């Protein structure tokens, strides 16, 4: 009988056998078949292992190995999301230094450094756009990581089963977004860094090409972006009738209301440029989710064709929520913290950049995720080979 993934059992296989007293004995016939020659992460010596009549011990119930593995999967996915943020941050730090030092051309609005033979490339709008994108990704991604880590703490510290279940549902909803969205944006940031360095970026001694190679695998770890997207749309949205989305949307909308409508908030006027687009985006998110659910009743392929775009669409809205929170906090701190004014001003300016330049990506994603899957599925497999 074929059980598929339901037939997987989980084992631990030691390199050496031990006796009843725990003494190390003969080899358990576990050998390294080869060291994998990978595109990136060269320092991680992943390998092919051969188990020649090796003895292993069953972990958990028979045929329940995948369920056992998922006890640590959410935490592992959060860790992988953090890799995406780290790649984005490292690429940004290197790019910023280089952009301040590399001289090329003059600013289109006139010389900015007339004493030099050319202006540093940081004065050019396209370079500045890439740098701001990197900054928005790394700082927005950190906020998303901290939020999710707190949910993990809430699960550990829950006093009742109801509290633990509620926190676990929140974690299950946010995790696929976190993992896939932040690793995809981490890879984008790394590529922006390569572009800022120009031809130098392709040369190993500058270190940028390594970030690109190393960042790419994070989109594959712990389930590819496509797998995370199916988990989000298929399991966390459609199977639960959007229960977790409703809870998260409520949290965001309460923040928006508090920031823009409560008379005691002295910064509500400045916050309008964040909370109104965010409120509209969250409302659209719920509407599109409902429409996809209705479409999926008639054509299950819509789930697969829309899922990745839906996840990225969701990710941009989630990150917008955290940038709005950072802007609110920055406005509050500016009133009292004179010493760190530049830090808080930078937060507000980056939030403005995110809402004007990155959140609008949701518009094209909305268009493609709602498209009929026939353009993907109606071409016969044989015809794909025709050029």
Q: Where does the pLDDT of residue 377 fall: very low under 50, low under 70, confident under 90, or very high at 90 and above?
A: confident
pLDDT in the model for residue 74: 75
Could you write out the DSSP letters of every residue in 201-255? GGSGGGSHHHHHHHHHGGGTTTS-HHHHHHIIIIIIIITTTTHHHHHHHHHHHHH
Q: Are residues 213 and 353 in the same domain?
A: no
Q: Do the domain assignments include residue 386?
A: no
Domain residue limits at 267? 253-377
Q: Are residues 76 and 219 in the same domain?
A: yes
Whether the per-residue pLDDT at 179 is higher than 90: the answer is: yes
Whether the per-residue pLDDT at 117 is higher than 60: the answer is: yes
Would you give the distance in Å from CA 37 to the centre of its chain? 26
Residue 147 Cα distances to 59, 151, 322, 349, 364, angstroms: 32, 7, 9, 22, 27
On whether the CB atoms of residues 137 and 185 are closer than 8 A, the answer is yes
Q: Phi and psi for 47 in degrees, rounded to 5?
A: -145, 160
| Long-range CB contacts (within 8 A, 24+) of 344-351 | 347/139, 350/132, 350/135, 350/136, 350/139, 350/323, 351/274, 351/323, 351/324, 351/326, 351/327
On whether the CB atoms of residues 244 and 172 are closer than 8 A, the answer is yes
Q: Do the domain assignments include residue 353?
A: yes
Pairing between strand 24-27 and 30-35? unpaired
Q: Are residues 165 and 271 in the same domain?
A: no
Residue 344 Cα distances to 5, 272, 284, 333, 334, angstroms: 50, 18, 30, 7, 7
Q: Taking Cα atoms as reference points, which of 249, 305, 311, 304 lies closest to residue 280?
A: 249
Q: Do the domain assignments include residue 265?
A: yes
The domain tally of the chain equals 3
Q: Do the domain assignments include residue 276?
A: yes
pLDDT in the model for residue 164: 94
Q: Taking Cα atoms as reference points, which of 50, 60, 44 lies closest to residue 12?
A: 60
Q: Are residues 263 and 211 in the same domain?
A: no
On whether the CB atoms of residues 297 and 304 are closer than 8 A, the answer is no
pLDDT in the model for residue 312: 98
Please calculate the CA angle 45-50-56 and round it to the nearest 5 degrees. 105
pLDDT per position as a tens digit, 239-297: 999 999 999 999 999 999 988 765 556 788 899 999 999 999 999 999 999 999 999 99
Measured CA to CA, the distance from residue 310 to residue 365 in angstroms comes to 7
The domain that contains 84 carries what CATH number? 1.20.140.10
Mean pLDDT of the 36-57 span: 93
Q: Are residues 81 and 50 in the same domain?
A: no
Q: Do the domain assignments include residue 228?
A: no
pLDDT per position as a tens digit, 287-335: 999 999 999 999 999 999 999 999 999 999 999 999 999 999 999 999 8
Mean pLDDT of the 128-137 span: 98
Q: Are residues 194 and 302 in the same domain?
A: no
Q: Are residues 79 and 154 in the same domain?
A: yes
Mean pLDDT of the 348-373 span: 97
Q: Do the domain assignments include residue 234?
A: no
Q: Are residues 92 and 164 in the same domain?
A: yes
Length of the chain: 387
Q: Give the residue carrying structure tokens 């008639």.
A: 298
pLDDT in the model for residue 159: 94
Whether the per-residue pLDDT at 1 is higher than 60: the answer is: no
**What predicted TM-score, i.e. pTM, was given to this entire model?**
0.92
Residue 222 is among the residues annotated as catalytic for this protein: yes
Whether the per-residue pLDDT at 360 is higher than 70: the answer is: yes
Last residue of one domain, picked from the residues 223, 240, 269: 223
Q: Do the domain assignments include residue 149?
A: yes
Mean pLDDT of the 27-38 span: 94
Question: Residue 282, Cβ neighbours under 10 Å: how many?
Answer: 22
Q: Do the domain assignments include residue 12?
A: yes
Q: Are residues 52 and 98 in the same domain?
A: no
Pairing between strand 30-35 and 47-51? antiparallel
Q: Where are the beta strands (DSSP E) in the chain?
A: 10-12, 16-18, 24-27, 30-35, 47-51, 57-59
Q: Give the residue carrying structure tokens 């353009």.
A: 375
- Looking at 89, 184, 188, 222, which residue is catalytic? 222
């Amino acid at each position: 009988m074929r059980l598929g993934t339901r037939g997987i059992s989980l084992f631990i296989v030691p390199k050496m056998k031990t006796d009843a007293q725990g003494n190390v004995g003969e080899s358990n016939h576990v050998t390294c078949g080869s060291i994998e020659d990978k595109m990136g992460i060269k320092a991680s010596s992943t390998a092919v292992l051969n188990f020649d009549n090796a003895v292993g011990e069953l972990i958990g119930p028979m045929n329940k190995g995948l369920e056992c593995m998922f006890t640590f999967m959410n935490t592992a996915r959060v860790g992988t999301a953090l890799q995406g943020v780290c790649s984005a941050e490292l690429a940004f730090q290197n790019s910023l230094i280089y952009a301040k030092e590399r001289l090329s051309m003059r600013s289109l609005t006139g010389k900015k450094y007339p004493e030099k033979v050319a202006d540093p490339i940081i004065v050019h709008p396209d370079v500045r756009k890439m740098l701001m994108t990197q900054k928005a990704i790394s700082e927005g991604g950190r906020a998303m990581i901290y939020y999710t880590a707190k949910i993990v703490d809430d699960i550990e510290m829950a006093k009742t089963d109801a509290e633990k279940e509620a926190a676990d549902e929140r974690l299950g909803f946010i995790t696929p977004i976190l993992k896939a969205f932040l690793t995809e944006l981490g890879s984008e940031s790394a590529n922006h860094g390569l572009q800022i360095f120009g031809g130098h970026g392709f040369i190993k001694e500058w270190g940028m090409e390594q970030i690109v190679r190393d960042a790419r695998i994070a989109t594959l770890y712990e389930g590819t972006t496509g797998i995370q997207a199916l988990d989000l749309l298929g399991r966390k949205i459609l199977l639960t009738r959007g229960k977790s989305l409703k809870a998260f949307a409520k949290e965001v909308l309460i923040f928006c209301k508090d920031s823009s409508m409560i008379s005691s908030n002295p910064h509500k006027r400045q916050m309008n440029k964040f909370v109104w687009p965010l409120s509209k985006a969250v409302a659209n998110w719920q509407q599109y989710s409902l429409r996809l659910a209705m479409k999926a009743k008639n054509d299950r392929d819509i789930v697969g064709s829309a899922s990745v775009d839906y996840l990225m669409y969701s990710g941009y809205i989630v990150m917008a929520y955290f940038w709005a929170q950072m802007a609110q906090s920055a406005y509050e701190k500016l009133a009292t913290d004179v010493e760190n004014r530049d830090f808080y001003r930078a937060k507000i300016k980056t939030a403005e950049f995110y809402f004007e330049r990155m959140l609008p990506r949701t518009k094209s994603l909305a268009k493609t995720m709602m498209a009929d899957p026939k353009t993907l599925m109606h071409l016969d497999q044989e015809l794909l080979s025709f050029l």
